[in-house]
Amino acid sequence: MQTKHNKIMKRLFESYKDYFRVGAAISGIILMSEEEKVEHFEKMKIRYADFKKNFKPTPEFPEFKFPEPKPLPTGRLPDYELAANQFNLVVAENECKMGSIYNGENDFDFKMADRLRDFARTNGQDMRWHTLVWHNQSPKWIFEDEKGEKVSKEVLEERLKKYIFTVGERYRDDICSVDVVNECISDKNFILRDGADRSQWFDILGPDYIDKAFFWAKEAFPKSSLVINDYNLEIVPGKRQGMYNLLKGLLERGVPVDTVGLQMHINIENPPVSEIEKTIELYGSLGLNVIVTEMEISVYPDKEQNNGKFDPRREYTPELFEQQAERYYQIFECFKKEAKAGILKDVVLWGITDRMSWKNGFPVPDRTDVPLLFDGEGKPKAAFDRLTK
């Protein structure tokens, strides 16, 4: 493939075609017209104001320091061509979350989800759905009755069921795998995240909301694999075990979960490859498949590894990019091994170019990061070269 950088570029997914699909999360921004970008920016400002108004300090974020939304980049972004050519699997970064779609009782906005589906069809790619049930980015109305009070269990259950079936009816033939439940394990005690831990789903529906969501998803998406997705499973052994315990119970009750999604928002030092391997094999031992759903490699250590402190912005030297490339390579070698063992099925990166990564500004509001395979202009980085060699 010829790029504007005037060199023949390899295709990432082709390098792994005998092992697993290679996917990317696509930001809706790359699929928007210029007018839609302006409208979207206006919406983001409203959401930001709302988020700021409702912000409650946590030990991790004691103060509100999140950067204000910026106007969206204009023109066709390099991510567009790369998304079309480098990956054989796509997922929406935000556009298939409940908060982007379910605006009211009978009010669904599928505009951007349809657009991504059309993009995938045009480019002959498979598509994942992220996500059906999550404590974040759910619409506020869904948990409230007409007086603005907590809705009853029956009503919330009906709303969730309707959502799952409406989405399934529209997309079931295009979706190869669905994140049915996202981030349901608590970081505090490694059991189900409850109301005190920000899950209004658990709070109102009780612990069996997970079983129900999977049974409904099985009917709504009969051909898709059904995923339970979470972060830090490869990093925190207690959380890994907590997910294992949950899965054992689900399987004993005949709940149709078949795949564990490891988000893998990891960094240049942590976790060791051996922990990643151990995690994949642990879930494999339950007879489940594993997919990597949201990977990137930040160039900053976690504050837990760093005397509780975040590092300031680093200098992005060629050595740093080489180190990152080596780390991507070692981890992809482990993925190949686990794919050969029949456990690992897909690897999805959480974005395409560094410029668009959510890690710019997270977890440190005014610090940039360079965690992906392409730089801000869409030029392949050392990690891309290493993975496609």
Catalytic residue among 183, 234, 296, 338: 183
Number of shown-chain residues binding ligand GLA (CB under 6 A): 6
* Site residues (CB under 6 A) for ligand GLA, limited to 294-333: 294
Rounded to a whole number of angstroms, the minimum distance from the CB of residue 17 to ligand GLA is 26
Rounded to a whole number of angstroms, the minimum distance from the CB of residue 294 to ligand GLA is 5
Contact call for residue 201 and ligand GLA (CB under 6 A): no
Contact call for residue 357 and ligand GLA (CB under 6 A): no
Q: Which is nearer to ligand GLA, 138 or 324 (CB)?
A: 138
In angstroms, the CA 186 to CA 203 distance is 13
Rounded to a whole number of angstroms, the minimum distance from the CB of residue 376 to ligand GLA is 18
Contact call for residue 358 and ligand GLA (CB under 6 A): yes
* Site residues (CB under 6 A) for ligand GLA, limited to 260-279: 263
Contact call for residue 110 and ligand GLA (CB under 6 A): no
- Give the CA distances from residue 2 to residues 10, 32, 113, 165, in Å, rounded to whole numbers and listed in that order: 9, 25, 29, 42
- Say whether 180 sits in a helix, a strand or coil: strand
- Exposure of 355 in the CB half-sphere (CA atoms within 13 A): 15
Residues facing 127 on adjacent strands: 90, 175
Q: Which is nearer to ligand GLA, 228 or 383 (CB)?
A: 228
The 10 Å Cβ neighbour count of residue 309 is: 8
Token pair, residue 207, equals: 């612990």
From candidates 231, 244, 283, 374, binder to ligand GLA by CB under 6 A: 231
Q: Which is nearer to ligand GLA, 199 or 382 (CB)?
A: 199
Residues in the chain: 389
Q: Which is nearer to ligand GLA, 294 or 369 (CB)?
A: 294
Q: Which is nearer to ligand GLA, 96 or 156 (CB)?
A: 96
Write the single-letter amino acid at 210: I
Residue carrying the six token digits 């919330």: 156
- Kind and range of the H or E run holding 38: helix 34-54
Catalytic residue among 93, 95, 234, 294: 294
Residue number with the smallest Cβ distance to ligand GLA: 358
From candidates 86, 138, 177, 182, binder to ligand GLA by CB under 6 A: 182
Annotated catalytic residue 154: no
Q: Taking the alpha carbons of 96, 101, 105, 107 in that order, is the dihedral positive or negative? A: negative
Rounded to a whole number of angstroms, the minimum distance from the CB of residue 131 to ligand GLA is 7
- Give the CA distances from residue 155 to residues 142, 150, 180, 277, in Å, rounded to whole numbers and listed in that order: 9, 10, 20, 42
Annotated catalytic residue 14: no
In angstroms, the CA 20 to CA 44 distance is 35
Scanning 302-389, the segments in alpha helix (DSSP H) are 318-340, 382-388
Q: Which is nearer to ligand GLA, 129 or 221 (CB)?
A: 129
- Say whether 239 sits in a helix, a strand or coil: helix
Known catalytic residues are 183, 294
* Chain residues in the site for ligand GLA (CB under 6 A): 130, 182, 231, 263, 294, 358
